[in-house]
Structure 1
């Protein structure tokens, strides 16, 4: 028997009943969840535990921060309903969230792909629908912040795409009796699929805190929307007369005064062979700082004393988050590889942001600046770095430059010295000098 025929038979057995009766769901929760154990999972199976009792649970044996994914074959896009449950053992954040890929052009969900996904958590405590084209994600519709303040959210999600390309999704917490229709949006940019799947982003302390269960797909969605307006929309409280248009992401703007909004606190510019470069910033204020991504500049001074910018990079989180949050008197670390820093410096990684665009910092020394990502950028902070600033003024490969006091000016070279930490640095945590 061909593989696709076998998979079709399995799907028929699994998806035969798709009624959304709450009482039926609660009865099913008490028994086994065979819907996930019978799917043809592939991907990073060593990072998950799949049982009929729990469903699919992230269980990274390395107990480290990172990403993990699983996928199963699915060609469904139009006339399709997706249903699943999610349990988290924590309140999601920009560094701990999950995606359920409704459609994907590849089984490797950590790579570039074309598809649609629902994101559970992130910068907001909500569920949101995205379209991904290659490595760029576009927010299509954002739901209510139903997980706000909830340290162990349990919820159910239902998504439908009708034959005219209208996407609708509903959510309900385990404590709620009915689903809440979140949004409806028409998007027909991607019309084919090869896989569905799960993708988790997590810090070390959340490496086993995600569970997906009762995953079901069906192809009996009624088309209730007509793009040409030739049919009347049925009088259904769950279906609006006019579908919502895409929302602009809720992105905060920079404040009027950005100088020293964040300040440099540590720089690893000459990393060890088993380490990675990074910059650490500090929030000196008494308030949470929430701003959109900003730019990192690297520049050098020429013989005439003027400066020349050699590198410009936008510090955008690799997870697609459009907001950077730094609590009062706390730290945030930017790097190209969070997992490398966690392993090297024995830190949790909860205050780190991984960005694929993190530039290489010249080992010969120079200057760094962070500026707003605006048409006319404004300076936030700047600092200098070189071997001459280190304690013994010799090359210190694998040893970062730390501020003695994060509150003092970054441009004051006497406020910088070599890290005394045994690992060579303190990314995302209090400096060894403080």
Structure 2
């Protein structure tokens, strides 16, 4: 039997297995009573050591390394047109640009972290919504974006349904656990990719979220009604985005898009140095890396540090009105300042900050050409507003305003700083 025929046979078997065994939509109202007896029986493959699969939860990310990174698993599936995909998702956190998941409806490869051709649903990202994408190689195109139904939810539980009819019209619905019915999100026609070999799950996460994803009640079926009268105004796809679907191009001049907000340069013995930045804009700033410059007073650069995600393949993301902190010692910062750590990124070669003060710059590029610098700032003892400054950070009075010396003060927080969260 040819390989393709074997895949097709297995895919048909899986679809029939799903259809015969899963509860009807009106019987499954979003809880896990009775468990999920079907999902763990499917022929999963991939990074199996990073997941726990059982009848109680379904598929649960459980990275034994307890570190930042990505994880994926797949099952064979050749279904594209005339197919319905349904599944449940539970996150133990509010998704972000550094912590989100994809359910690959179709894929040409069983390695979901590499180049492939396929369609996927993204749960979270720079926005707290569900969206449909098409991926060609290492480029992704946003096809349709849904409501921000997870905004402000620290433990979202939802169900997602996607259909592709014989005419190539893609439609998807979402339903929170608290909702009784599915809500139709968007519809669009796209026939760019017409074959598949796999479907699967792909998680992107920071260190603190390595156990926070669960997928359950996964169902495929092929009784989709062909849409002869689709929506009159389907979404217009976004332009192609390289490497990651949430990575927009920066403007020529990036000044003020990111600002320094807090600096711990004279830490207590049980703490650690760190630098915190803030995104004052109305949009997420997402890029492969940032560059932190240590400078002399005349602007001469004498040290450059690359600030990037703990998983270098994952872009660095700072959502709108959000703080992001960089440090060499994650545990010390979290324990000392009693913060969750979701907005703290470990930089192994984080530079030592001079206790006598200094000058910093934040750039989008290794080059020092005009327009690439987000912000510059000075830090020194004279900028503190109290006498005892060891273990006390310098923080902005107004995060949205420039980094002039008069806009800084000593942290008023009991722990001496507020890394990754709003100044208090």
Q: TM-score range by the shorter chain?
A: 0.5 to 0.7
1:94-118 deviation line (CA, Å, top 9, x unaligned)? 2222111111121111222222111
Is the aligned partner of 1:333 residue 2:326? yes
Q: Compared with structure 1, are the counterparts of its residues 30 and 186 closer, same or farther at alpha carbon in structure 2 (3 Å cutoff)? A: same
Q: What is residue 262 of structure 1 aligned with on the other side?
A: 260
Q: Compared with structure 1, are the counterparts of its residues 124 and 290 closer, same or farther at alpha carbon in structure 2 (3 Å cutoff)? A: same
1:237-252 paired onto structure 2 within 5 Å:
239-246=230-237
For these two proteins, the number of residue pairs brought into alignment is 365
Q: What is residue 351 of structure 1 aligned with on the other side?
A: 343
- State how far apart, in whole Å, the 1-side matches of 2:207 and 2:258 are: 31
Match of 1:380 among 374, 383, 388: 374
Q: Compared with structure 1, are the counterparts of its residues 37 and 98 closer, same or farther at alpha carbon in structure 2 (3 Å cutoff)? A: same
Q: What is residue 78 of structure 1 aligned with on the other side?
A: 81
Match of 1:58 among 57, 61, 81: 61
1:23-422 paired onto structure 2 within 5 Å:
23-26=26-29, 29-224=32-227, 233-234=228-229, 239-246=230-237, 258=256, 261-262=259-260, 265=263, 280-283=275-278, 290-293=283-286, 296=290, 318-319=313-314, 324-325=319-320, 327=322, 330-333=323-326, 350-352=342-344, 369-371=361-363, 377=371, 379-382=373-376, 405=394
Aligned-residue RMSD, C-alpha = 5.0
Q: What is residue 421 of structure 1 aligned with on the other side?
A: none
SS at match of 1:37: helix
Q: Compared with structure 1, are the counterparts of its residues 137 and 320 closer, same or farther at alpha carbon in structure 2 (3 Å cutoff)? A: farther
Q: Compared with structure 1, are the counterparts of its residues 312 and 346 closer, same or farther at alpha carbon in structure 2 (3 Å cutoff)? A: closer
On the 8 A contact 1:116/1:132 being kept in 2, the answer is yes
- State how far apart, in whole Å, the 1-side matches of 2:182 and 2:316 are: 27
- State how far apart, in whole Å, the 2-side matches of 1:53 and 1:411 are: 55
Q: Specify every segment of 5 or more residues in structure 1 that has no aligned partner in the other structure, as ranges.
A: 225-232, 268-277, 335-339, 385-401, 413-425
- State how far apart, in whole Å, the 2-side matches of 1:308 and 1:288 are: 27
Q: Specify every segment of 5 or more residues in structure 2 that has no aligned partner in the other structure, as ranges.
A: 240-245, 266-272, 352-358, 379-390, 406-416
What is the TM-score normalised by the length of structure 1? 0.65
- State how far apart, in whole Å, the 1-side matches of 2:286 and 2:82 are: 38
SS at match of 2:27: helix
1:178-209 deviation line (CA, Å, top 9, x unaligned)? 11110111222222221111111223333222
What is the TM-score normalised by the length of structure 2? 0.66
